């Protein structure tokens, strides 16, 4: 109603505008409260606050009601706050929503998308937001969102149940953020505008997999991005190596500029829930915070192209679990353990630890990671499995790149090089004892090397996996999709209750 009355304003009388806005006034009487119409009103925060604020600001403009407009604009500016616990943006850049879910890449997206539409309007009004409050907004961008975006993809570990939606892949999610940042830049100081535009331009131009314009829904956004790319006066800003610890939502994000890879670790604890199953979405997200490691390299399609509909949900890279069968949507929980977190040194070295107990308390493990510049060490110890189901650690489960959707590369399959020699792999487990394993591609920037600290028995398999998006999200398509995966899995028993290996991304075979 707001949008129609705005676009077609000249065709309605003031009386008609008041008449058509009466439901808005009744159902959203206060921009700072949600669910009022259901008689269970509570304080609106984050994306909900910016959404309601947008409704009330446009309503106030249409009604030419300055008092209503002032209330709405002041309420919206209250979204620019940092919290020490609970929902909202935290001081370390974490974004928590739905009580205790890491949600930067979903509800955080809603927040910045909505707020970015309002900011230029507010800043052109008598109710301008102060520079002090705007500094919170820039902290959201530089510490909350940008460390999670690598070459146009937003890390899935903060996208909650939205990763179970086919169209909304990690690149789609990143554009939601980038278009918000670009709108905000237009209402920023010249120095901040240059910085934001330079960063967005670099990210967009570095993404040779996804067409940014597929995610732009307004002519204004299309105009901003066309100008951004074509304008030689806007200088790209490349990001240096960074290490971002999101201890308030149990996540770690790392980017190594020299080697050209990014890396994420997804954990949970007594304060953050393991996953969210809601509205019949994300039915098999069981292990997405059980110490999953996300490696981002030159295959920008890896977590797109039907990844979540086809990956084995029991075999996510980095997890230590047992093979107990799961019901859809089962086991949403926090963990009794609080010893989960990370520390850093000089923005390139980190220690990360997770005293892990699984969803039904049948498996324990002490999991740790050491980020050492261009390599990452994985250590696990004291693995205890109280069931008859096999326990295992997933060293890797890598999707094979499909036929070229990528403008600069053809399909890259992987061969497996074990201790210096290429070995055949099939859809049956190949059991082998190794010290070195290299997933070798035609593109060196997609090579993935693992060195085990002592000879280790692993099962290596290459399989075609079929699935449907409907299987993990009731509202999605039941069309069958297919991908190939290469998995490396280390089994555990009472005599083999540890793991120790080092990840070397983007090495040539000789260098490895």
Q: Which sequence positions are flagged as catalytic?
A: 48, 98, 107
Angstrom distances, CA of residue 496 to CA of 88, 316, 458, 500: 42, 20, 12, 11
Give the list of residues 6+ apart from residue 295 with CB closer than 8 angstroms, or none: 261, 262, 263, 317, 448, 503, 505
Cα gap 219→3, rounded to integer Å: 15
Tokens of 487: 């998995």
Please report the DSSP string for 186-206 in residue order: HTS-HHHHHHHHHHHHHHHHH
Distances (CA, A) of 167 to 1, 171, 314: 27, 10, 23
Q: How far is CA 215 from CA 178, 211, 223, 275, in A?
A: 10, 8, 13, 26
φ and ψ at residue 271, rounded to 5 degrees = -110, -15
User: Among candidates 461, 392, 400, 453, which has minimal Cα distance to 432?
Assistant: 461
Q: How far apart are the first and last CA of the chain?
A: 61
- Phi, psi dihedral angles at 381 (to 5 degrees): -145, 165
Whole-number Å distance between alpha carbons of 344 and 373: 11
The C-alpha atoms of residue 329 and residue 338 are separated, in whole angstroms, by: 24
State the DSSP string of 250-297: TEEEEEETTTTEEEEEE---SSS-S---BTTB-TT-TTTTSSEEEEE-
* CA dist., res. 76 & res. 129, Å (int): 10
Cα–Cα dist 51/67, whole Å: 19
| Overall residue count recorded for the chain in this entry | 512
Strands of 59-179, DSSP E: 88-89, 95-97, 101-102, 149-150, 153-154
Specify which residues 505 forms β-bridges with.
448
């Amino acid at each position: 109603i707001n949008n129609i009355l705005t676009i077609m304003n000249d065709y309605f009388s003031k009386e008609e505008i008041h008449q058509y806005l009466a439901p808005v006034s009744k159902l959203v009487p206060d921009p700072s409260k949600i669910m009022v119409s259901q008689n269970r009103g509570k304080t609106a925060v984050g994306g909900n606050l910016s959404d309601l604020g947008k409704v009330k600001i446009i309503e106030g403009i249409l009604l030419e009601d300055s008092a209503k407009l002032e209330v709405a604009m002041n309420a919206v500016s209250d979204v620019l706050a940092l919290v020490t616990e609970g929902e909202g943006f935290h001081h370390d850049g974490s974004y928590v929503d739905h009580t205790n879910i890491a949600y930067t890449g979903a509800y955080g997206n809603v927040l910045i998308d909505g707020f970015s539409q309002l900011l230029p309007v507010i800043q052109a009004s008598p109710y301008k937001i102060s520079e002090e409050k705007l500094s919170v907004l820039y902290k959201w961008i530089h510490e909350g969102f940008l460390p999670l975006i690598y070459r146009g993809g937003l890390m899935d570990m903060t996208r909650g149940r939205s990763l179970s939606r086919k169209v909304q892949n990690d690149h789609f999610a990143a554009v939601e953020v980038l278009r918000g940042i670009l709108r905000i830049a237009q209402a920023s100081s010249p120095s901040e505008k240059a910085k934001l535009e330079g960063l967005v331009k670099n990210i967009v131009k570095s993404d040779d997999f996804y067409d940014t314009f597929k995610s732009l829904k307004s002519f204004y956004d299309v105009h901003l991005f066309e100008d951004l790319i074509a304008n030689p006066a806007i200088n790209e800003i490349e990001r240096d190596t960074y290490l971002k610890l999101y201890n308030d939502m149990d996540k770690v994000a790392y980017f190594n500029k020299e080697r050209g890879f990014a890396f994420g670790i997804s954990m949970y604890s007594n304060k953050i829930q393991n996953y969210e199953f809601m509205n019949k979405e994300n039915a098999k997200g069981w292990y997405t915070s059980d110490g999953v490691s996300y490696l981002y390299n030159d295959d920008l399609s890896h977590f797109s192209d039907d990844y979540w509909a086809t990956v084995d949900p029991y075999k996510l890279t980095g997890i230590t679990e047992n093979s107990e069968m799961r019901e859809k949507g089962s086991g949403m929980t926090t963990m009794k353990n609080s010893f989960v977190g990370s520390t850093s040194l000089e923005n390139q070295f980190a220690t990360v630890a997770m005293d892990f107990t699984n969803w039904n308390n049948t498996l324990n493990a002490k999991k740790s990671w050491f980020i050492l510049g261009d390599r990452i060490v994985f250590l696990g110890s004291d693995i205890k499995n109280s069931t008859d189901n096999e326990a295992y650690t997933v060293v890797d489960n890598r999707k094979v790149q499909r036929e070229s959707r990528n403008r600069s590369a053809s399909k890259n399959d992987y061969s497996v090089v074990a201790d210096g020699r290429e070995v055949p792999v099939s859809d049956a487990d190949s059991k082998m004892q190794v010290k070195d394993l290299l997933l070798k591609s035609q593109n060196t920037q997609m090579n993935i090397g693992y060195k085990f600290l002592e000879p280790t028995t692993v099962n290596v398999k290459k399989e075609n996996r079929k699935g449907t998006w409907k299987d993990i999200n009731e509202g999605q398509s039941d069309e069958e999709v297919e991908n190939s995966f290469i998995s490396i899995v280390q089994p555990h028993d009472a005599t083999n209750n540890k793991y120790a290996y080092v990840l070397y991304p983007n090495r040539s075979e000789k260098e490895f």
